[in-house]
Amino acid sequence: MKRVVLLFLSSLLIISCAGLRGNIGKDPQPVEKVTVERINSLIDAGELAEAFQDLSWLPVNSKADKAVLEERLKSKFQSEYDKALDNSGYLDAYRILISVKTAGIEINSRGRTANDLIKELVYSRSEESSHESRLYVARKYFDFGSLGKEDLGRITEMAVKDGDKGFLEFVEPFLKERGLDPSPDFKKVQKSRYASSQLIKGTVTIWVNRGMKIENGMGIPDRVIGSGFFIDRNGYILTNYHVISSEVDPEYEGYSRLYVKLSDNRKEKIPAKVVGWDSVFDIALLKVDSTPETVFRFGKEQDYEPGTPIIAIGSPGGLENTITSGIISAYGRKFLQLGTVIQVDAPINHGNSGGPLLDMDNNLIGVVFAGIEQFEGINFAIPSRYIVSLLPDLYRGGKVKHPFLGFSLTEKNNTVSVTYVMPGSSAGRSGVGKGTVIREINGTGIDSIEKLQREMLKYSPGMIVKLGMEKDGNPFNGFFALSARPEIPAEDAYDNDATENLFLPLFGMDVDSVSTGITGNKFIITSILEGSIADESGLSVNDPFTVQRIKIDNENHILYMEIRIKRRKSGFLESGLMLSTYLETGDFI
């Protein structure tokens, strides 16, 4: 009797949830038709990259109209470039110059090259910018291969004066190419090395006071404790965004005060402010009124083999001045929305977040940011290669905005292919469809999603990039306007498109709709991506299934889908299956 009651209650549950099927069957956001009026409106609004993309992908019928639009765009680009230059907006001028060069538009650069514009920032004597911040600008934006001996010598001298061992390590190969011999001071800085006690002095404890929280009717102090380390003698500190998120998250409405404890004065809490932050890479730049004795530097980019010994410094559980050791257990883990991370086997605990990770030669490898609570000793760190690219934006202040195309991608055999195109995105307006292979971005070859993500970090929203692509064996090129990346692209796609269109990028299965009805939406699987959630769940091509329920866990950004399926691998016996996927997927670009 109990079994009958349970079955009856289960059927009621399924029926009551039958309406909770996401946005299945929803009409996608329509692509706005490209017209002369639309392109003119974009030009008037200053959306020049979008105007150029529309004109390049969907040219108007009249050649005369197209010529007029091209001339308007050229004139507007020139005007914006001149305005940026006249107002000392050298970075804006740089971005315009790179974009028009990519687009093949000729403007009067007023005798400036892209390197010349960056020199204005790097050689600036402004008191607002430190040597360290200017060297990070040089590292991100300079084309070092085209720099002359004079400029290489000048920027090397800056790094020597600042004692920036990491930058000297980075620039040394370019000096050798030019036949420039390092100075004695150069070699002295290179040979310098911090003792363990000095490394500790460069690390701090991050302390965020969030007032009181109520648990079981009692007030409990709400504190967030993390780690950080100095990267600049002007008092700039790197830590994790999640440690200080309450300081800048507009959705947080409670009390929040940020402090830092120095390693040699653990009793005093120094007020700190957040300068810049990046929630995607979980990085934040802070500033305190203090001149550190020890400053950590980022050296040249390199990959580390599994088994490489490492040390981590931080404040696990609030216990300051702690050094632990271990090894790199894996490199290139896909854990973030953009890029890959380092997996570390070392005693790293709560409070270590935001601390430095170093090799045994004291080279800064990355920033510790997360662990898996269920598995003791398995932790992760953000590689320095990404942080170096982000630092110029972090120094400028505010939230870092990443560029976005609107593709979801998959990779196989060193080939990157499109699995989904977001409605309303630059990619969605281009007409590029599923199955297109991306070979190049601005002339740089692409053989992995991670490579494309790293290349994209060189650009900013509002710029133009050129992709070399291939469809059905036919190569072609296309221009795209980079927009600002949504916080979580997959969530935006879920809100604006039919849910079944996301089955491929989120679960790895392409489907055809069979029918809809009161008991569910029926589909049949047409393809499966190798290694995907669908593949690992034992699903196969031609398996029919019905969607019973779709639910999103907004707090943890997880999508759950309950289905009834007849799997070929199970003799087509019908069974229930719950599929789940993180919406913070690393396949959107």
Catalytic-labelled residue, pool 54, 282, 497, 587: 282
Asked if 314 and 204 count as a contact pair (C-beta separation under 8 A), the reply is no
Angstrom CA distances, 577 to 154, 155, 480, 545, 566, stand at 64, 60, 40, 10, 10
Asked if 447 and 416 count as a contact pair (C-beta separation under 8 A), the reply is yes
How many H-runs (helices) and E-runs (strands) does the chain carry? 18, 27
If one counts every other C-beta atom within 10 angstroms of the C-beta of residue 535, the result is 15
Catalytic-labelled residue, pool 99, 109, 256, 353: 353
Angstrom CA distances, 161 to 45, 123, 148, stand at 45, 14, 20
Query: For residue 338, which of 112, 589, 540 has the smallest C-alpha distance?
Result: 589
The residues pairing with 469 across neighbouring beta strands, listed in sequence order, are 438, 476
Give the integer Cα–Cα distance in Å for 188 and 163: 9
Give the integer Cα–Cα distance in Å for 285 and 488: 22
Tokens of 514: 């069979």
Residue 488 dihedral angles phi and psi, to the nearest 5° = -135, 95
Please say if 242 is a catalytic residue: yes
Distance of CA 546 to the CA centre of its chain: 35
Distance of CA 349 to the CA centre of its chain: 24
Query: For residue 283, which of 231, 326, 233 has the smallest C-alpha distance?
Result: 231
The residues pairing with 359 across neighbouring beta strands, listed in sequence order, are 310
Query: For residue 349, which of 264, 231, 225, 242 has the smallest C-alpha distance?
Result: 225
Give the integer Cα–Cα distance in Å for 403 and 425: 12
Please say if 303 is a catalytic residue: no
Distance of CA 227 to the CA centre of its chain: 22
Give the integer Cα–Cα distance in Å for 93 and 112: 10
- CB within 8 Å of 80: residues ≥ 6 apart: 46, 48, 92, 96
DSSP-assigned letter for residue 497 = S
Q: Residue 106 is which amino acid?
A: E
63 burial level (CB within 10 Å; 0-12, 13-18, 19+): exposed
Q: Residue 35 is which amino acid?
A: T
Give the integer Cα–Cα distance in Å for 146 and 351: 44
Give the integer Cα–Cα distance in Å for 151 and 375: 50
Distance of CA 278 to the CA centre of its chain: 8
Query: For residue 308, which of 349, 380, 372, 361 has the smallest C-alpha distance?
Result: 361
Mutual orientation of helices 449-456 and 384-396 as an angle, nearest 10°? 30
Where are the strands (E) in 434-508, listed by range? 437-441, 444-445, 464-471, 474-481, 483-484
Give the integer Cα–Cα distance in Å for 215 and 99: 54
Query: For residue 500, which of 531, 539, 526, 519 has the smallest C-alpha distance?
Result: 526
Catalytic-labelled residue, pool 54, 232, 242, 345: 242
Please say if 282 is a catalytic residue: yes
Catalytic residues: 242, 282, 353
